[in-house]
Amino acid sequence: MQRGLVEPARTLEGPGYYSQVALEVVERKERHDAQERLTQVLADLQGLPRLLDELRKAGGGSFMDGSLTYLTTEPAINVKIQAAATAAQRRLLTCQPGGTRSPEVLKMSSDRDQESLRRGVTLRTIYHKSAQANTPDGIATKEWVEGVTALGAHVRTAAFPMLRMIVADDVAFIADYVDTSPDEVRCWQVTHPAMSAFIAEVFELMWAFSTPWEVARRTAAAATITTQAQRSILRGLSGGQSFASIARELNLSESSVKQQFAELRARLGDLLKEDRRTASRPVNTNQAIFWWATSDEQDLP
């Protein structure tokens, strides 16, 4: 009766008698019920991402999944990083691809970083080259660097694309590359030994190709034709990248990248002109790339 295979008999024998339902009727009902169940399963599956996102937000800014913690609010991220850094006994590795940090952020981390150094923790940080800019944020960053290096920290800079990360002993924090909403700060806390070791190894690779802070400052002051950012632009153009792609890698606007390249073209035009009595004209893109292909400045960071 529940499956619809039989029904009360419409006979004169009275109640208690049943007859078989026609097979085509059973088939139609079974197909309809199965379709209804399948439709509901598909609806549940499509709604799963939204459900999980609501659960993350309702969970106070974090979502646990074994050895991963998904942190969805800036306060939750700061609390977790502060706790991991304070508990670190061996190393603190940080990579800041966005350039300078604000004086407020630096002040919040300065005491913690210096206390870590005093208790013997190794501190190494990689900044984007733009962190050495002569701006209020750049000056505050320079003061932070001077404070921590005086206690034994090591700081480097790089113009190549970097990944934002923090490693405190065997706990790693990485930016969320799945949900890249520009209006929200989200990251993953990783405690799995194999994954945190892999993240630390990625840091070591970036460290090996970066430049010590003071060396980078001296290089920037030297009489070179190109800046570090312009060299990154030239490397990208030589590899067939567009200005938009280069801008994304350098964390700069496309207009800023084009402006820096235009300044280099003008400088090359002035340096390479044959007749010093005539006004210089900027070289074109192909000429700039050809000059770069034979320039000793390729060896600079």
Q: Mind listing the pLDDT tens digit of every residue in the chain (301 residues)?
A: 888 888 888 766 667 788 888 888 888 888 888 888 888 888 888 888 888 777 766 655 555 556 888 888 888 888 999 999 999 999 999 998 876 677 777 777 788 888 999 999 999 999 988 787 767 777 888 888 988 999 999 999 887 778 889 999 999 999 887 766 666 778 899 999 999 999 999 999 999 988 888 877 666 555 578 888 899 999 999 989 999 999 998 888 999 999 999 999 988 888 766 555 556 678 888 888 888 887 767 766 6
Does any domain span residue 147?
A: yes
- Say yes or no: 68 and 213 in one domain: yes
| Domain C-terminal end among 155, 185, 217 | 217
Q: Are 193 and 201 in contact, with CB atoms under 8 Å apart?
A: no
- Residue 51 is part of which domain span? 6-55
DSSP state of 93: E
Q: Are residues 111 and 148 in the same domain?
A: yes
In this structure, are 183 and 86 located in the same domain?
Answer: yes
13 and 70: one domain?
no
Structure tokens at 254: 């496309």
Residue type (1 letter), 125: T
Query: Same domain for 21 and 38?
Result: yes
| CB 131 within 8 Å of CB 155 | no
Task: Kindly compute the dihedral angle of the four CA atoms of residues 229, 159, 237, 264, in this order, to the nearest 10 degrees.
Answer: 10
The answer on 74 and 206 residing in a single domain is yes
Does one domain contain both 129 and 86?
A: yes
- Domain check: are 29 and 130 in the same one? no
- Domain termination site, one of 39, 55, 71: 55
Looking at residue 242, what is its pLDDT?
92
Phi, psi of 79 (to 5 degrees): -65, -45
Q: Is residue 142 assigned to a domain?
A: yes
Domain for residue 1, yes or no? no
CA distance 5 to 21: 5
Same domain, 100 and 206: yes
Measure the CA angle with vertex 63, ends 60 and 69; round to 5°.
115
Q: Are 218 and 150 in contact (CB under 8 A)?
A: no
Q: Are residues 88 and 193 in the same domain?
A: yes
Q: Looking at residue 180, what is its pLDDT?
A: 64
Same domain, 148 and 21: no
Residues 132, 15 within the same domain? no
Give bridge partners of residue 263 from the DSSP assignment. none
Assigned domain for 157 exists: yes
Domain presence at residue 209: yes
The predicted pLDDT at position 56 comes to 66
Residue 290, in any domain of the structure = yes
Cα(203)–Cα(113) distance, rounded to whole angstroms? 18
Q: Which of 112, 127, 208, 124 is nearest to 167 (CA)?
A: 124
Position 182 scores a pLDDT of 62
**pLDDT score at 258:** 93
CATH number, position 126? 3.30.870.10
Dihedral angle sign, alpha carbons of residues 51, 52, 53, 54: positive
pLDDT at 121: 94
Distance CA 280, CA 292 (A): 19
Tracing tokens 């969320």 back to the chain, one arrives at: 176
Give 34's contacts (C-beta < 8 A, 6+ positions apart): none
**Helix (H, G, I), strand (E, B), or coil: what is residue 87?**
helix
Supply the pLDDT for residue 64: 56
Q: Number of structural domains, the chain? A: 3
Could you tell me if 173 and 187 are in contact, meaning their C-beta atoms sit under 8 angstroms apart? yes
183 exposed, middle or buried (CB, 10 Å; 0-12, 13-18, 19+)?
A: exposed
